[in-house]
Amino acid sequence: MSLLSAMIKTYKGDKASREKTANLQRRRLIKLIKYAKSNSPYYKELYSSIDDELIASESFKLIDLPPVTKPELMSHFDDVLTDRSITMKRIDDFTSDLSNIGKMIDDKYLIFKTSGSTGNPAVVLYDKQNIDVSSAIAAFRTFARKEDYDRFMKHGKKTAGVFADYGFYLACGMSKYLQLKMPRKKTKINVDVNAPEAKIVKALNAFQPSMLSGYPSNLALLADFKELDIHPDVVITGGELLTDQIRKKLEDRFGCYVQTHYSCTEGGEIACECEERHLHINEDWVIVEPVDKDYNPVPYGKMSDKVLITNLSNYIQPFIRYELTDRIIVHEERCKCGRTSHWLEIEGRTDDILEFENEIRIAPMSLYKVLEEVPDIRRFQLIQRSLTKLELRVTTDRDKETVFENAKKDLIAFFRKNGLTNIMIEPSDELPQANKTSGKFKHIYSDFN
């Protein structure tokens, strides 16, 4: 499938009836399952009791297949892939050379490392089809309002992303990939979210983006810098929950429409926001199943404990009923905007911005990025107990002492870099846990007066 054909299919998909989309989704699902079962040793084994005839039959249901998790897929990495020539060993060699960011291994696959909600990063390959579908959805569905899209086109599609600009993260890797493909086009920049604020402000002022994207909490911090003098046509956030408060703050500061979308490296573009602020699921390319703790389906309108996603465009590394820890509500009722797809609400990451002495403020995403890089950390929670003291809770399958030591070292180095030399990190015996009143889980929050 070419980019053009992905574009045409995706453009049409947005207008199709629910029945038509359901049929298309099913055809793509069956094709993917059959492909995974014949080409991936892992899925062959996992689906060994389900025969091909059943899969092709009317009675086959997606819930007949077992869910898969990140630790499982990562520990069987080579076997999950549908191309035997690619191995974790080769990927390690390839990604150890940072000049390979945005380049394809064997001219076939892009490699990304994820951020995720459970600590350990995943390694995700994108084949050509997955790249084309992501590009097509980005082109046709990202913008909630046509007028913003028109202005963006008129102003030369100048896009600035303020994301993690180290390593093989999706936003960074994808923008390098496009730069390498079209080296003369200067329509995209990526500014490292962890660079000093003055440097970020300078880069954005010089570039004058039409579209500004980044993590909501980081953009909210940047918005406080008076020196920041940009006039984007639209702000599109991602990676964390966009709260009403931050949306309003950014709208006031930049005088433009502010919106979000829901995506992850493994699932691709899962849902795009409309002008009703509803996240419409890209049902032609991804299947979203809200489930409870035991993987039972959760009905429309009810909050799930987690969600299973099936990415219908990734054939090199199939994600079929892949568990994400997000809690969502899927809505069946039609949306006023006219889009036909089901839409969802997400209870995303709602971590706090931490405040320290000398008015130094640290965005949660920056700390999140530090902690998720710590080897063997499975889950974590960082609680600010005073201006100088933070409590760290972790879960790990390995030696907890070592994980604490490594995390402590990295956190202290990070705080020093940000001008905080007196921060103490206290390891805790408690496990990361949700707030007992709200039931919401925060990875990073402040709890003192």
Which stretches of the chain bind Zn ion, using CB under 5 A?
274, 276, 278, 335, 337, 339
Could you identify the residue written with the tokens 């389900």?
Answer: 50
CA distances from 144 to 16, 236, 276 (A): 18, 10, 9
Would you state the torsion angle of the CA atoms of residues 365, 368, 370, 372, taken in this order, to the nearest 10 degrees?
Answer: -140
Give the nearer residue to Zn ion in terms of CB position, either 197 or 345: 345
CA atoms within 13 Å, Cβ hemisphere of 14 = 22
Give the nearer residue to Zn ion in terms of CB position, either 14 or 323: 14
Which of 44, 61, 38, 7 lies closest to 321, judged by CA? Answer: 61
Give the nearer residue to Zn ion in terms of CB position, either 65 or 274: 274
Give the nearer residue to Zn ion in terms of CB position, either 74 or 337: 337
Give the nearer residue to Zn ion in terms of CB position, either 122 or 137: 137
Q: Report the nearest approach of Zn ion to the CB of residue 325 (Å).
A: 25
CA distances from 398 to 66, 99, 107, 404 (A): 27, 32, 37, 11
CA atoms within 13 Å, Cβ hemisphere of 2 = 3
Give the nearer residue to Zn ion in terms of CB position, either 276 or 399: 276
Gyration radius from the chain CA atoms: 22
Burial of 342 (0-12, 13-18, 19+ CB in 10 A): buried
Q: Report the nearest approach of Zn ion to the CB of residue 275 (Å).
A: 7
Q: How far apart are CA 151 and CA 210, in angstroms?
A: 8
Give the nearer residue to Zn ion in terms of CB position, either 334 or 417: 334
Give the nearer residue to Zn ion in terms of CB position, either 275 or 410: 275
Q: Report the nearest approach of Zn ion to the CB of residue 247 (Å).
A: 16
Contact 139, 72 (CB under 8 A): no
Q: Report the nearest approach of Zn ion to the CB of residue 407 (Å).
A: 41
Mapped onto helix, strand or coil, the DSSP state of residue 202 is helix
Give the nearer residue to Zn ion in terms of CB position, either 197 or 275: 275
Contact 362, 411 (CB under 8 A): no
Q: How far apart are CA 118 and CA 372, in angstroms?
A: 8
Q: Which amino acid would we find at residue 170?
A: L
**What is the residue-wise DSSP string for 1-23?**
--HHHHHHHHHHHTTS-HHHHHH
CA distances from 22 to 285, 340, 399, 411 (A): 11, 11, 47, 47
Q: Report the nearest approach of Zn ion to the CB of residue 259 (Å).
A: 12
Give residue 99's Cα distance to chain centre: 23
Q: Report the nearest approach of Zn ion to the CB of residue 243 (Å).
A: 20
Q: How far apart are CA 109 and CA 131, in angstroms?
A: 9
Give the nearer residue to Zn ion in terms of CB position, either 136 or 344: 344
Give the nearer residue to Zn ion in terms of CB position, either 141 or 393: 141
Q: Report the nearest approach of Zn ion to the CB of residue 329 (Å).
A: 15
Q: Which residues pair with residue 160 across a beta bridge? A: 189, 212
Q: Report the nearest approach of Zn ion to the CB of residue 201 (Å).
A: 34
Which of 221, 130, 216, 223 lies closest to 173, judged by CA? Answer: 130
Q: Report the nearest approach of Zn ion to the CB of residue 282 (Å).
A: 13
Q: Report the nearest approach of Zn ion to the CB of residue 299 (Å).
A: 21
Q: Report the nearest approach of Zn ion to the CB of residue 271 (Å).
A: 10
